[in-house]
Structure 1
Amino acid sequence: MIEFMNVDKIYPNGTQALQNLNLKIEQGEFVAVIGLSGAGKSTLIRCINRMHDITEGQLLVDGTDITNLRGKQVRDLRRRIGMIFQSFNLVTRISVIKNVLVSFVPDNALWRNIIGLYTKQQKVKALEALDKVGILEKAYIRVDQLSGGQQQRVALARTLAQNPAIILADEPIASLDPVTSKLVMDDFKRINKEMNISVIMNIHHVEVALEYADRIIGVRAGEVVFDGPTSKVTDDILHDIYGGNKEYKTAFEENHAHVQ
């Protein structure tokens, strides 16, 4: 369970990214965070695994105030929270399975990491993770020979291999075409339901958020202006989230395309 309690985040340049944030996310939820560019969506997600530190308030993960964690405690937290990026963050010149095995580096002795030696059990886990996202047959192919969608699935497999309770996804389909986006989102949904892994996703595509997420959190200027079931999202709510900005027109059109 994740709980934001009166959370503020102010960057060193004075920008207030989050204001008085109060949220509770239960285990197994699929949550989409939507809003304008610069609204605070990425900051909200990245505070959960301490990529960004909050300025005020409390942020609890499974009852632990993560703002008090230090060193190894932060590393242990991040083992339980997988992170998927828009840019994939893969080493493209090596094989798919080697990229997935990177998830075990924090568990291994230094000498094993230096020579790239992994246990049989770790290799089996890596292959199982690739199987879960449907690209087991690509295990020994170099990453730079894969499509963008396949690379994002490798990144997802790498996260699954660490057996997370939570997956954070920061614009995971922003650079993918619609067909590939659907395949990747299907993976997220299946993993969420079958493995009871919480998915918290920052996403620009409103129609995709409405199709896949169980819950929508709308953020405007660092504040939550909507938090509720996907079924409760209306055009008026979208207008409130996007504040009449030109991005709202895109969101409005995407919503109508979804409804039709």
Structure 2
Amino acid sequence: MIEFKNVQKTYPNGTTALSNINLKIEQGEFVAVIGLSGAGKSTLIRCINRMHDITDGQLLVDHVDVSKLRGKQIRRFRRRIGMIFQSFNLVNRISVINNVLVSFVPDLSLWRKLTGIFTKEQKLLALEALDKVGILDKAYIRVDQLSGGQQQRVALARTLAQNPDIILADEPIASLDPVTSKIVMEDFKRINQTMKISVIMNIHHVEVALEYANRIIGVRAGEIVFDGAPAEVSKRVLNNIYGNVSDSEENNEEVASTLEVVSGHV
């Protein structure tokens, strides 16, 4: 279980990214976090694995106060949490399987780290992870020869190889075309349902969030303004999340685009 208790996050420049966040996420949920650019979505999920430190309140994962972890405790804690980025964070010049094997580096002995030699068991686990996302046949191909969707699935396989309890995904389909996005989202959904791994995803594509997540969290200006099931998301809810945030042309366009796209879903 992930629990935010009165969590605040203020950056050194004085910007408040999160304000009075109170939230519980149970194991096995598929949560989509939606909101305007700059609303605090990325900060919210990155606080969970200590990529960002909170400035006040408590953030508990299975009753462990994350902010109190130090050194090796943080590294052990992060082994339980997979992180998927929009940019994939892969090494393009090496093979797919070697990218997945990177997830085992923290567990290697010093001589294995120096030589880059992995165990047979680790190689089998890497191949199994690739099979789970449907790209086992690409195992020995260089990453730079893959499509964007295939690269994102490699990143997902790398995360699965570490056997996480939680997957955090920061805009995982933002750079993918609609067809590829659907394939990747089906992977996330299947993994969530069959492996009971919690998925917390920051996503701009509201219509995709409504289709795949079983819980929607709306963030506006660092505050949670909606928390409920996809079926409860109405035009009024979307206006509350996306509307009246800023008079800037960019935000007005994003609001209009979002409401237009999801009009058939609510």
Is this a same-fold pair by TM over 0.5? Answer: yes
CA distance in 2, matches of 1:76, 1:225: 33
**Match in the other structure for 1:138:** 138
CA offsets, 1:90-139, max 9 Å, x none?
00000000000000000001210121100000000000000000000000
CA distance in 2, matches of 1:254, 1:10: 33
**Match in the other structure for 1:249:** 256
Listed as ranges, the matches of 1:221-232 within 5 Å are 221-232=221-232
**Match in the other structure for 1:236:** 236
**Match in the other structure for 1:194:** 194
Moved over 2 A (4+): none
Q: Secondary structure at the match of 2:100?
A: helix
* Count of matched residue positions in the alignment of Structure 1 and Structure 2: 259
Where does structure 2 lack aligned partners over 5 or more consecutive residues? 245-250
CA distance in 2, matches of 1:169, 1:256: 25
CA offsets, 1:58-82, max 9 Å, x none?
0000010010000011001110000
CA distance in 1, matches of 2:152, 2:91: 12
Listed as ranges, the matches of 1:1-260 within 5 Å are 1-244=1-244, 245-246=251-252, 247-258=254-265
Q: What is the deviation of 1:249?
A: 1.1
CA distance in 1, matches of 2:96, 2:219: 36
The RMSD of aligned alpha carbons is: 0.7
Using the size of structure 2 for normalisation, the TM-score is 0.96
Using the size of structure 1 for normalisation, the TM-score is 0.98
Q: Percent identity?
A: 78
Q: What is the deviation of 1:250?
A: 1.4
Q: Secondary structure at the match of 1:89?
A: coil
Where does structure 1 lack aligned partners over 5 or more consecutive residues? none
Letter paired with 2:80: R
CA offsets, 1:162-208, max 9 Å, x none?
00000000000000000000000000000000000000000000000
CA offsets, 1:4-36, max 9 Å, x none?
000000000100000000000000000000000
Letter paired with 2:149: G
